[in-house]
Chain A
Amino acid sequence: MAQRTIVPFGPQHPVLPEPIHLDLVLEDELVVQAIPSIGYVHRGLEGLAQKKDFHEMVYVAERICGICSFIHGMGYCTGIEALLQLDIPKRANRLRVILGELSRIHSHILWAGLLADAFGFESLFMHSWRVRELILDLLEEATGGRVIFGICKVGGMRRDIDDDQLKRMLDKLDGIERECCVITEPLLNDSTVRKRTVGVGMLPQETAHLLGAVGPTARASGIAMDARRLGYAGYNKLNFEPIVETGCDSHARSAVRVREIYQSFDLIRQAIADTPGGDVDLKLKPGVNPKGHYAARLEQPRGEVVYYFEGNGTPNLHRFRVRTPTFANVAPLVKMLEGCQLADVPVIVLTIDPCISCTER
């Protein structure tokens, strides 16, 4: 038996934007086992729910993550609205879908850049972020913020995005989609890129199912699972199917995310075409507080997120718990790393699109 060595990977590592630590047990250059440890950026946001008024907690929920900030805010509001039995206006739901899908596009483009950076394709990294900037401009113009939008509230939206603005957004989408084609083409078809991704980091369907993989990681292993199909925020009125690949490798996970970018463009077009008029905000009766418990499930760019709420009739939630997609994908990641080359570890880690600050809350 070859001698075993342990190589620490992270929490500070050039490919990792956020801190996760992996102890890689190696036999020569081959990874035999990966032992993860997290907890470097824990902020105790869930505990804050017991001290903050449930209206103010939206701002904290948005700050769970800097990339999927909108969907975190939306998930929090969806849960509280269910506890208060509010039926929010249709226009507010449509605007939530539009902003949520724009967030998904910019998250996937950001991921494409990070993956390219992991295998040394610097120009693809730069161009991905250039295209992402166009989406961020659209979001800033519509909401007033680049990263934290602060537009979602319990009972709807804090401000309307008028029809002219939506039309301008629609006009710009075609150009951005063409730009996306330029960066996604080499990510999937370039021969040098394929050499780094095809057949690397295999996650068979049974293993993915057994370990509870979510989102693009599960869909790339042939599991047709997409929380948007549950129909929250009016997704059931839109025409789409979960994107599934059967390759089970890093290339399949890339392909799922690339195809999801175009699916999101399509969903935004469908949502804008079908946005009804009317109010975007529901006036809440003062003194009504959440009571009972509820679990909200939403699809984030990285997979399914679960929020658990427990209200006791006071303005502060008794319990607020978030199960983020990266947390669910860490166990499959450990399985993917077994048997791979040490040089492939950064690429494989990036293919689950890790968001560690989400995971830590």
Chain B
Amino acid sequence: MPFFSFAGLVAKAAVSKPATRLAAREPFAATRGHVVIQISACNFCTLCAKRCPTDAIEVDRGGRVWRIDRLKCIQCRACVDACTKKSLTLDPHYSPAMTAKDVESFKGEAPPPKPAAPAA
């Protein structure tokens, strides 16, 4: 029956580099870090808010404001998949630590004025 069968591995581990990766490491390309919006491309269709399983996204259609509660978001990608304008993407880096329970909001520009009706 073997004795001290683990001693070799322990000795090897004592002189080798740490096995874990740092928290501030370069993430994998596919990692679901946090949702990023390019607000200029958004048409405020509210599809992302409807698909969000945790109701983290709120869209104010009239005021053209897009809000996300980062503490509710579970990075499931449902909004990114639903976005028809490709304005939502997932950044592989985790969102920075929060110091207050804030809801992030993004204000879109006013829609281009409708072409004036031709004079009768």
Where the two chains meet, the residues of A that have a C-beta atom closer than 8 Å to any C-beta of B are 52, 56, 59-60, 123-124, 127, 130, 133, 137, 140-145, 148, 150, 158, 182, 185-186, 189-191, 194
Contact = CB atoms under 8 A, between A and B. Distances in A.
B28 A140 contact: yes
A142 B19 contact: no
Contacts of B20: 130, 133
A144 B10 contact: no
B13 to A, nearest CB: 7
Contact of A158 (B10, B81, B90): B81
B65 interface: no
B9 interface: yes
Interface string B51-83: 001000000000000000000001111000100
Main secondary structure of the interface of A (DSSP, over half): helix
B43 interface: no
Contacts of B90: 144
B1 to A, nearest CB: 4
Given A140-B31, A145-B32, A158 B2 contact: no
Contacts of A182: 9
A143 B30 contact: yes
A127 B9 contact: yes
Contact of A123 (B6, B30, B74, B76): B6
A123 B81 CA distance: 44
B31 A191 contact: no
B76 A191 contact: no
19 contacts: A59-B74, A59-B76, A124-B6, A127-B9, A130-B13, A130-B20, A133-B20, A143-B30, A144-B77, A144-B90, A145-B31, A150-B74, A150-B77, A182-B9, A185-B5, A186-B5, A189-B1, A190-B2, A191-B1
Given A52-B53, A185-B5, A142 B77 contact: no
A144 B5 contact: no
Contacts of A52: 53
Contacts of B10: 123
Contact of B76 (A133, A142, A150, A186): A150
Top 4 nearest A-B pairs (CB, nearest first) are A56-B53, A144-B30, A191-B1, A144-B32
Given A59-B76, A150-B77, A142 B30 contact: yes
Given A127-B9, A140-B30, A150-B32, A158 B77 contact: yes
Contact of B28 (A59, A127, A141): A141
A186 B32 contact: no
Contacts of A194: 1
B27 to A, nearest CB: 8
B3 A191 contact: yes
Nearest to B92: A144
Interface string B1-38: 11101100110010000011000000010111000000
